[in-house]
Amino acid sequence: MLILSHMIILFMQMLKFSRWLYPLLLSASVMALDYHVFEYKGARIHWAEFEQGQLNIVIDTDQHQKLSDVAKYHSQSVVMNGSFFLSNGRAHQPTYLLKKDCQFISSSHVKQGAFGWDGAHTVWDVIAPRVTRGLNDCGQGQDAFVDYQPRYTSAKVWRSMPHVVMGAPLLIDRGEIQKAVYYKGGFYRLPYARSIIAEKDNGNLVFVVVEAGLMGQILMKIWGSLPSWIQGQGLSLRDLAVWLRQRDIRYALNLDGGGSVGLAVNGKVLVRPRFKWQRMEFERGLSHFLVMSDHA
């Protein structure tokens, strides 16, 4: 009995050791400037920070894509799930406005947070875009007419950005935590899996992924900590926003969450989108992904 007890203690210590050793070993080969796994209020948070590199959108609206497949193709990159989407059979349509390479993939006049970039500059705000004609919003062959209706920024700046992703809500704007994170609805206050695109005070971009799973919620109450292969209990938007601001985040936009949350680094899936019972899929397909790499 004593031997068995010692073996259990040793096993638990090895699990705790692996939780910080694995990210340390991985970070040596990651393109990101800084990759870490943190723990906060029982949740495991993946943090991938970039000083430079090319941020792109990977999307195929005709057929859902799986993170594991996208990660294989982008084997020298960091891949995170994108924003919210609507599923229609095998097709997955983004819920809000999404612009890639100056082309509108989807449009929506819903007022929500947004992030735009051109490789050298970024813009963040709450917008309520109305696309009345055309698909090409910038560059050669521009034929679109869209009223972005930004809250603080210039509509001209948004038109100049070749890439725009909308999400809900904008958690942090110009260093200030936004009122939306304090809403009482379950989406805001319950500890769910989360994915965030953020920008620090120094201009670095950050992918933030918060894990969550039923097993993790149960074992956290029993053990008080989790082995690296079990998902944590998630975070409310308020707790996540507070934690992000403590880490010098100036802007933060909430993307899709729950079972759609996923992260892959250098071809290895670290957080896998959950299975979907309706389709008997081990890994659910998503609408689009954000990919950060050293090359376009």
pLDDT in tens, 278-289: 455 678 889 999
CB 90 within 8 A of CB 64: yes
- Per-residue pLDDT, 142: 78
Q: Tell whether 146 is covered by a domain.
A: no
Query: Mean of the per-residue pLDDT values for the chain?
Result: 84
Helix (H, G, I), strand (E, B) or coil at 9: helix
pLDDT at 228 over 80: no
pTM score, whole prediction = 0.85
Q: Tell whether 118 is covered by a domain.
A: no
Alpha-carbon span 34 to 56, nearest angstrom = 19
Q: Tell whether 240 is covered by a domain.
A: yes
Which amino acid is it at 177? I
* Number of domains composing the chain: 1
Nearest by Cα to 164 from 101, 252, 108: 101
Q: Tell whether 16 is covered by a domain.
A: yes
Query: Which residues 6+ apart lie within 8 Å of 210 measured at CB?
Result: 43, 44, 45, 46, 192, 193, 194, 195, 196, 232, 234, 235, 240, 261
Q: Tell whether 253 is covered by a domain.
A: yes
Host domain of residue 244: 2-96+168-293
Q: Tell whether 92 is covered by a domain.
A: yes
Q: Tell whether 257 is covered by a domain.
A: yes
In the chain, count H helices and then E strands: 6, 21
Segment 10-14 long-range contacts (CB within 8 Å, at least 24 positions apart): 12/223
**Conformational region of residue 10, where left means phi above 0, alpha means psi within -120 to 50, and beta covers everything else:** alpha
Q: Tell whether 127 is covered by a domain.
A: no
> 62-101: per-residue pLDDT in tens?
677 999 999 999 998 999 999 999 877 666 889 999 999 9
